[in-house]
Structure 1
């Protein structure tokens, strides 16, 4: 299996920015359940919207093989380990010239960006116009002889010399279409849009499965060579960050996604932990060494080292993911964490709700302990707003669940942290931040 080097992609697409802030650029992230989202359902209560987000989170983690291996998809395409309808944040962008405004899911757990395109062999309903490449002056199909087509595993060449991609997701949803280049223009909070030319993306003509509520497509922010982050590589110096507002924030407040020097996390309270390179390269892997409940520190699951006869923590043992709501932990370790929490909390657990294992009634009368995730070289302290979530009136549950397949540091645990990715230095940084003021 071969892959495209980041250097060759950057050379190929010759990215040009018409306007960039002196300190990089920033994009609004809209939670899919926010009143700003076209998928907002006013008939649902806050707890019902949360419940749906939790269900998506569990489904995303359960998708096989999330972060374990790359499987073969039908017709020789690539199988993405995540579910198609599982991302949580939308970003506004325009595609082509003249620009067509649309919304797409921003996802750190995916690589290739794609949108629905006319003519549609099979398309799902979306709230914005479906992109028609024949109307754009800047749309170009990627040649079969080009590096994205010859080296990227998910493409085939048609008889008409058109490079075609196929991606099948973990829930068997799929997108099939033409690999192309186009101008992407991103809306910015400053009011000045940022245009990027010759972005490689998928123009999807056959999109089937659980895509309803997923926007017009997906913007991949993962670590693979065709993700938007990798294509912007030298332009943003390998840096991007996001700041996710708490779920109880005003519904008109948006989270922020930053690129370039504006994404540097360097405040006095910032801590950094190394990224670990693993397969599949789509995901961002951190090393979790232990978790503390108050002053009680629990060592994370060890792995036997047959060479040294020692037991150590596996490197890259947890994925950090903005598209997963809950934090997912290995079942064995989760049981130890839950038992410790029960001993530390001055309240009686009640019957669990839905996907949760640990819930309490009358939360106002309970003092919940801080929980600290001890990553290599970085301690990330989580307050109760990150760890115990009100799932219905008078009932809170631990926003962490067990899994037998994968560990994920989810977005509830990251809220009110400025989370910065420096892919050149190979690290992720965390800084406590009031994200509503970013």
Structure 2
């Protein structure tokens, strides 16, 4: 999870009807729980199911398509364009093609040259294919069945490689750009509530629906616009508390700079939160000083995480509390949102801090968003959140 989160950080450095869709944590393997959250919807007429990573850190919506000469393995069939009566290729001069960072003209198609895209990431993940349009089918916003929205642009990827799992068929961009799903649906808001990352229970992502946040004290913080990066959702992180100690980290460590570097983003596609190295080291040292558990140096070195030897059952107070302070809001994290437990083959029991050191960009990952109902108000330019049992919403 640490390796994938750091790779993800490299990526980030580089009037429709309301609808909803099922979201569940993808499968994970290994000691450290590591997953993306998958949106279940369908494309085409008749519908063909897809499972797309819900990604607030990118814009393009894409899935793997037949023929797929260079694709990663997936459990669902590849999307088959000829089997959809509503499928259509988008020409090079379409506005959506212009919104791509890199595109060119493909083969002649009924007098219009089709839009070919390459969407690459700094972690070497890449998708290449044609930008097309088709009908997307969601669960209806009023729970009356299904809602079909025609003419949504998406990437039909035929050359795809990188950090992907067999459960996903592509990515659903939920970013701020014109190609993202919320932007194309022209909704005023969207919300998600991620269930426990180590489980399999589903939840719902709501697009354009009044999202009633309840179950506790709702808190709100402004979204910060970074004009050098029009995709990600930036927040104003002011500080961090470990136990009862506010760490002596200057606010400038988390602040967006005038040149567009630095800052703090909230990202559904990143696993663990990452902090600038200086801030992480202060957090790590504070955990070591306040935890009532011994540091396990061998495990810490093996996993590149701060790990403690721990009893089989967590005891109150054996690790300090963790809180993130934003402008106008404080996120008090429950233990299960910043520590993960595991046992090794020899019967040893450990608990590790699910935060790692990164570059100057701070990323709030999905591990810290478990059982947190998060509402993105795209008109009011605010982010609201409240603790919730996401499998019960």
Cα 1:299–1:242, aligned 2, differ >3 Å: closer, same or farther? farther
- CA–CA separation in structure 2 for the residues paired with 1:124 and 1:132: 16
**Structure 1 residue 248: Cα displacement:** 5.2
Task: Render the CA deviation track for 1:139-197: whole Å, top value 9, x for unaligned.
Answer: 11112222122343321123511111111122323221111110011247957222111
1: CA distance, partners of 2:314 / 2:131:
53
Unaligned runs of 5+ in 2: 1-14
Instruction: Write out per-residue CA displacement over residues 382-432 of structure 1, whole angstroms, 9 at most, x where no aligned residue.
Output: 121112111336211111111134311111211121111111111111112
**Contact persistence 2:192–2:375 (CA under 8 A):** yes
Equivalent position of 1:29 in the other structure: 23
- Residue 283 in 1 paired to residue 232 in 2? yes
Mark the runs of 5 or more structure 1 residues left unpaired by the alignment.
1-9, 18-23, 34-39, 54-86, 305-311
Instruction: Count matched residues.
Output: 360
1:369 equivalent among 295, 320, 324: 320
Rounded Cα–Cα distance in structure 1 between residues aligned with 2:99 and 2:351 = 49
Asked if 1:51 corresponds to 2:32, the answer is yes
Cα offset for 1:209?
3.8
CA RMSD of aligned residues (A): 2.5
| Secondary structure of residue in 1 paired with 2:224 | coil
Q: Which residue of 2 aligns with 1:165?
A: 117
3-state SS of 1:120 partner: coil
Aligned partner of residue 180 in structure 1, secondary structure: strand
Question: What do residues 204-249 of structure 1 show as CA deviations (whole Å, max 9, x unaligned)?
Answer: 222234434252211111121101011112xx22x11111122355
Taking structure 1 as the reference length, what is the TM-score of the superposition?
0.76
Deviations 1:10-42 (A, max 9, x none): 7xxxx5x4xxxxxx5432212111xxxxxx6xx
TM-score using structure 2 length: 0.84
SS for the counterpart of 2:32 is: helix
Structure 1 residue 365, shift from structure 2 partner: 4.3
Q: Is 1:425–2:380 an aligned residue pair? A: yes
Give CA deviations for 1:59-96 in whole Å, capped at 9, x if unaligned: xxxxxxxxxxxxxxxxxxxxxxxxxxxx6011221111
Shift of 1:360: 3.4
Q: 1:313 to 1:131 in 2, by over 3 A?
A: closer
Match of 2:176 in 1: 223
Q: Which residue number corresponds to residue 69 of structure 2?
A: 121
Q: Is the 8 A contact 2:275 2:360 kept in 1?
A: no
Q: 1:107 aligns with which of 24, 40, 55?
A: 55
Instruction: Tell me which residue corresponds to 1:82.
Output: none
